[in-house]
Structure 1
């Protein structure tokens, strides 16, 4: 059987900071709930009981404790950023347009015209993220219109 999961030993300042996060009541609910899990673990409460008190699964409690042990207070704050994907800025659009209008031979490539796949692979090789390059080319093929126009 695996060892019981517990938060690392906390010093007085860390304990006060956790209590302050919990008592403050403002800010992210996610941060508040994670701080509560850590404080309950520091007080010796077992994982299944923490899960019951915080209305979540025992696996989630274990993940929060492991993350806190590894990263400290940074792990309490959510890092997700949902919503619509970012749009291309004007300088990014100009750069992609310049590459798409140029001949592949100018970039020492052995073909004469760009295909969407070749343009995507080239953009990724040039340091663009795979998502950005794919989005540009998907926009091209879905609309049958060049996304490189202003």
Structure 2
């Protein structure tokens, strides 16, 4: 986000290409301006991974089974990173790791064409 901003892209454009909200983009840029590169490091809280309620799990499953184009996205297949970013941007979850998403989808019985599980591809 910071690099895109430095290249002259506006907040709305950055939000669109990073699948997040303009408010999140502004927060990241503001934090970078205030704290520099230290603001970009991960903030691990530690502890147990978040649990998702039944409604969240169902919503994640439905989105994963749909085509990205059905959600107005410009690509034809999901990757774990794209799906995780989309779920956060849409407010389905506050945060989800790629591995956490992979396990949740496996537990929900979600597989994709050819019987393959969702792979972590970019």
Query: TM-score scaled by structure 1?
Result: 0.36
Q: Which has the higher contact order (CA 8 A, sep 6+)?
A: 2
TM-score by length of 2: 0.43
Q: Which has the larger helix fraction?
A: 1
Q: Which has the larger radius of gyration?
A: 1
